[in-house]
Every structure is written in C-alpha cells, then in structure tokens.
Amino acid sequence: MSKKYDVIIIGAGIVGGMVARFLSKYALDILLIEKEVDVGMETSSANSAAVHAGYDALPGTNKAITNVKAVEMWPKLSQELGIAYAQCGDYVVAVTNEEMLVLAELLDRGVKNGVPGLQIISGEEMRAREPLVRQDTVGALWAPTGGIGDPFAASVAAAENAVMNGVTLKLNTAFEDFLMEEDRIVGVRTNQGDFKSRWVINAAGLYADEVMHKAAVRPEFVIRPRRGEYLILDKADFQLTNNTILFPTPSSKGKGILVASTLHGNIIVGPNANFVDSKQNKAVTKEGLEEIWNGASKLVPSIKRKHIIAQFAGLRATGNGPAPDPEINYNQDFIIEIPETVKGFVNLGGIESPGFTAAPAIAEKVIKLLEDAGENLVEKPDWNPIRVPRPVFRHLDRDQQAALIAKDPAYGRIVCRCESVTEGEIRAEIHAPIPATTYDALKRRTWLGTGRCQGGFDLPRVVAILAEELGVSPEEISKKGTGSEWLYRRTKDVSQGHLNVEDLI
C-alpha cells in the first residue's frame, strides 16, 4: 500500500475542486480522485453558469446559507483564480398579478437570506432597462448581486490552484469502495488501487448517493437525475439582454427557462427540468428543445431560431430528501455533514443548483466541519491563492498580440477561426499544471470549437497538435477519453502514394 494521505476527495467537479483548493491552504496531504480523463466533465460543465443571488433557496437551509456566503466570495475568488466573472445582476420577470405575488415571496425570502439590494421594479422600468423583454411584463425582481460565471474555467482553475499548492490529482481513478477499520473509514479502493487516508470527502455529484451508501450512510437517500436542456445562440450583432440574466417567475418545477448572456458573448437559453432514469442520459430531445424555445420566446419574443448553434443537456443531482418544503421539489437541501455513524467521512450530497455558485462556501463549511471534529488545521506559510491565467490571444490588444507572437510564433497561428484560438494557447494548455489531453478538455479551457462551425474547421488541426505534444498517434486522440477517439483506423498508406492521417491534417 502506498503512502497515507490526510484527506482524499472523491470527485473533481466544481465542489471537489473548490474543497481541494481551500483545503490546500493547510498543512495536509491531499489526494483528489476523478473517474474521468479531466476535471469538471460532469454537471459542472453543463449548467446555466448563473451566480445566483440567493433569493430562491428557503431561509435557514444549507442552500441559502452557502449561496449567499459564496456570492460575497466570488469577486475576490475570481480575481485570485484568474477567471472571468460578472456581477451583472439578474431579473425575475412577472407577467401576471399572480406572478407579482410570487416575486413578493422571493423578495421576502431573499431579505431573510441576507441578499442585499433586492428591489421590485415596475413593468415600465423593466422595459426601459431590458427593451426586448416581453411588452406585457408587469414587473420584475431586480437582484444586483446576481451574476454570470464560467463554470468550465472555474472547475479547472480551482483544481489547478489546488495542484499548485501540493494537492495530488489522479484522473481516470474511480472510487469503488471504502477501506474500513471497524466504524472508521481509513481509505478508498479504486480502479487504480487502494489509497489510505484519515478523512474521505464525498464530492461525487450525481454519484454521491452511491458513494455514501458504501459507508452505510443515508441508505434512504437516492439521487434522481433531473435533466435540463439548453440551446446556445451565436454571437450576433445584437444582444437579447443587456449582459444580464432574465428568469421567468419560478414554478414548482424550478427556476424556469432563462435567457441570459454568457461571458463568452453568446446567449444561453434553458433549462427545462425533467427526471430521467439514467445518470448518463444527457441526450437532448425534440420535445425538450421545443419546450425551452417556447419558454425563451415567451420571455424575449424577438429571439430567432436562425441564431441557434449548439444544444446540450446537464443532469441535476436531485435527491429525494430531506425536503424542507415537500411542495417545492427542487428545493431539497444540500447535504453537508460529518455523519455520526461512521468516522473519517465528510458527506456532500444533493448538490444541485445553486451548487456552482455555492461551491466555495461549501468548501469553507467543510473546513469548519473538520475543525469542529477536532482536526488541527495549520495554515501553510507558502500557500499561494493566486493562479495566473495563461494568455488568451483574442483578449489582448494589437501590441500585446505582437509581443506574444514575437516570443512564440505559435500564437500567430489561428487554429479555431470562429473563436480566434491560437496554436500557442492550445500548446500551453497541453502543458499546463493539469494537462489538457482531449479535444473537450481544450474546448473547456480555450473555448475552441464553440463557435458557429462547432469545430468543423479546427478539429483535424487540434488532433494533430495533441498527438504531437503528447507523443502519441492521432488515432489515440479522443473527444473525452477512451471510447471517443476521433479516428478509427488508417485507411490509406502514404508509402503507396496515397494520403494518410497526417496528410489530412
């Protein structure tokens, strides 16, 4: 058996990544394990990217407390991690007098939760602020602390900052069972062998129920994946919102279908909320896309189908309890606990929305739980909270671009035309502290392949660069890990005067 860690974290989504990052402040030997080929590949890369203000969750719940606390943390945190974040505010739009009553409830909840600056504005005021919102808008709840984040960048940056501060990250490493000594967890069994530790933290997202059941914790708690489908609209020469988020008035199904700007300049539309039977079922459906289009058109009637360039779905880790209010099925509370029945286990479960927003505050709560359990956390004098981002060519001015190209000519070669992503950026990500080894890993980090052509132009070139930098054959390069390789086999041999894979790229 290898060395003994102080803490093992299962799952490198935004929650596991933030827990690792905040715990890396202390003199602890930490192992972060992730079953996939990269960090942040599950729910943390398929959501609305809203940094919720905190008026939605029921007062007193973990959801409400961590949400509001995290909103205070995001401005400094995004600076430290070198990632984009906009505190642009958000609106909940009402179109009937009944919906205005719901806004009053949300305002009341928000005030109880400690959300600052909430205000109900008139329909006239709303139309003045957001001219494309539907004209019969009666009023809106304005939440100035709502915002837009970048969950892709945040998941990578949190885990990367943790790794910079000494956390060991093992990808392709799936938790299978706990190692137990009587009622104490002393490590984990994985597909890559056994790892010992004093604490294990469950941050397995959709699979958190299965992990906790292995420790005989909350056998009654079951996660039912609740799918949300989305459409992405091209960067157009008009904006449907003034760089903000428009929510409809929520219903018992959830926060409803939003129309929002993204930090990358697109418009995102969605999600719906439908239970599905499988934790792998991220398919988009004709009916679902129609449902979200109808929802979006109701909120912003001038939205145009011709601008749609992509679709995707994400799965909420919706639990079956404990429910503070059984009438509101999306308001199951987050489980953040050290269970009494087993020692050495921090259990996080049911982290559905607003889990992206709340992740840094969940991490702080985990630290508090460990301290309360008697763990003597000693701060490291050399902890570095700053992650310096790698250059993004399209964000630089002409002089900066020229200087970068002079230093490394690879920055002068555009690989993704829609998003102006250069070869230099791609090569830098392949050699980053958490190396990008697949097409999707590069996509999440550089934004290549996300434009109108959806990778049609860049894909062959990216496969060639990955193969070259990783020293493998192009046939081994995949979209998102084993089983998703792009190239099946060589069909022609250049020695016989025909083209082969390298000639094509």
Ligand X SMILES: Cc1cc2nc3c(=O)[nH]c(=O)nc-3n(C[C@H](O)[C@H](O)[C@H](O)COP(=O)(O)OP(=O)(O)OC[C@H]3O[C@@H](n4cnc5c(N)ncnc54)[C@H](O)[C@@H]3O)c2cc1C
Whether residue 50 contacts residue 154, with contact meaning beta carbons closer than 8 Å, is answered with no
By beta-carbon proximity to ligand X, the closer residue of 57 and 140 is 57
The conformation of residue 3, written as its DSSP 8-state character, comes to: P
Least separation, in Å, of the C-beta of 404 and ligand X? 32
Least separation, in Å, of the C-beta of 471 and ligand X? 26
| From candidates 43, 261, 422, 450, binder to ligand X by CB under 6 A | 43
| From candidates 20, 23, 28, 33, binder to ligand X by CB under 6 A | 33
By beta-carbon proximity to ligand X, the closer residue of 33 and 361 is 33
| From candidates 120, 121, 174, 310, binder to ligand X by CB under 6 A | 174
By beta-carbon proximity to ligand X, the closer residue of 16 and 474 is 16
Least separation, in Å, of the C-beta of 9 and ligand X? 9
Based on the residue annotation, tell me whether 52 is a catalytic residue of this protein: yes
**147 touches ligand X (CB under 6 A):** no
C-alpha pair distances (Å), 196 with each of 5, 12, 201, 423:
6, 18, 13, 41
Cα–Cα distance for residue pair 312/322, rounded to 1 Å:
29
Whether residue 335 contacts residue 323, with contact meaning beta carbons closer than 8 Å, is answered with no
By beta-carbon proximity to ligand X, the closer residue of 352 and 423 is 352
**At residue 148, what are phi and psi to the nearest 5 degrees?**
-125, 130
* Count of residues interacting with ligand X (CB under 6 A): 40
Residue 63, helix vs strand vs coil: helix
Contacting residues for 401 by C-beta, under 8 A, at least 6 apart: 393, 411
Whether residue 45 contacts residue 155, with contact meaning beta carbons closer than 8 Å, is answered with yes
The conformation of residue 145, written as its DSSP 8-state character, comes to: T
| From candidates 55, 85, 175, 247, binder to ligand X by CB under 6 A | 175
Cα–Cα distance for residue pair 183/194, rounded to 1 Å:
18
Burial (CB count <10 Å: 0-12, 13-18, 19+), residue 189: middle
- Stretch of 92-100, 205-213, 232-240, 398-406 lying at the interface with ligand X (CB under 6 A): 205-213
Hey, how many other C-beta atoms are within 10 angstroms of the C-beta on 47? 24
Least separation, in Å, of the C-beta of 190 and ligand X? 7
Hey, how many other C-beta atoms are within 10 angstroms of the C-beta on 369? 16
Least separation, in Å, of the C-beta of 451 and ligand X? 22
- Stretch of 104-112, 202-210, 281-289, 452-460 lying at the interface with ligand X (CB under 6 A): 202-210
**134 touches ligand X (CB under 6 A):** no
**CA-closest candidate to residue 12, choices 219, 173, 181:** 173
Cα–Cα distance for residue pair 438/479, rounded to 1 Å:
6
| From candidates 198, 264, 316, 427, binder to ligand X by CB under 6 A | 316
Residue 274, helix vs strand vs coil: strand
- Stretch of 28-36, 163-171, 282-290, 397-405 lying at the interface with ligand X (CB under 6 A): 28-36
Which residues in the 295-314 window bind ligand X by CB under 6 A? 314
Which residues in the 44-73 window bind ligand X by CB under 6 A? 44, 46-50, 52
The conformation of residue 493, written as its DSSP 8-state character, comes to: -
Least separation, in Å, of the C-beta of 298 and ligand X? 19
Least separation, in Å, of the C-beta of 106 and ligand X? 16
Six-digit token pair at 118? 């909430």
Which residues in the 216-275 window bind ligand X by CB under 6 A? 228, 271
Interface map 337-366 toward ligand X (x if CB under 6 A): --------------xxxxxxx---------
| From candidates 7, 9, 12, 366, binder to ligand X by CB under 6 A | 12
Least separation, in Å, of the C-beta of 431 and ligand X? 22
By beta-carbon proximity to ligand X, the closer residue of 110 and 424 is 110
By beta-carbon proximity to ligand X, the closer residue of 157 and 465 is 157
Q: Kindly name the residue from 52, 264, 307, 498 that is annotated as catalytic.
A: 52
The DSSP result for 384-403, as a single string, is ----PPPP-GGGS-HHHHHH
By beta-carbon proximity to ligand X, the closer residue of 213 and 452 is 213
Whether residue 220 contacts residue 321, with contact meaning beta carbons closer than 8 Å, is answered with yes
Cα–Cα distance for residue pair 464/443, rounded to 1 Å:
15
**292 touches ligand X (CB under 6 A):** no
Cα–Cα distance for residue pair 497/473, rounded to 1 Å:
20
Cα–Cα distance for residue pair 490/474, rounded to 1 Å:
10
Residue 165, helix vs strand vs coil: coil
Six-digit token pair at 213? 């059941």
By beta-carbon proximity to ligand X, the closer residue of 95 and 203 is 203
Cα–Cα distance for residue pair 396/275, rounded to 1 Å:
43
Six-digit token pair at 71? 């909103």
| From candidates 28, 41, 107, 434, binder to ligand X by CB under 6 A | 41
The three-point CA angle 498-502-503 to 5° equals: 50
By beta-carbon proximity to ligand X, the closer residue of 42 and 423 is 42
| From candidates 315, 363, 418, 441, binder to ligand X by CB under 6 A | 315
Least separation, in Å, of the C-beta of 44 and ligand X? 3
Site residues, ligand X (CB under 6 A): 10-16, 33-36, 41-44, 46-50, 52, 174-175, 203-207, 228, 271, 314-316, 351-357
Catalytic residues: 52
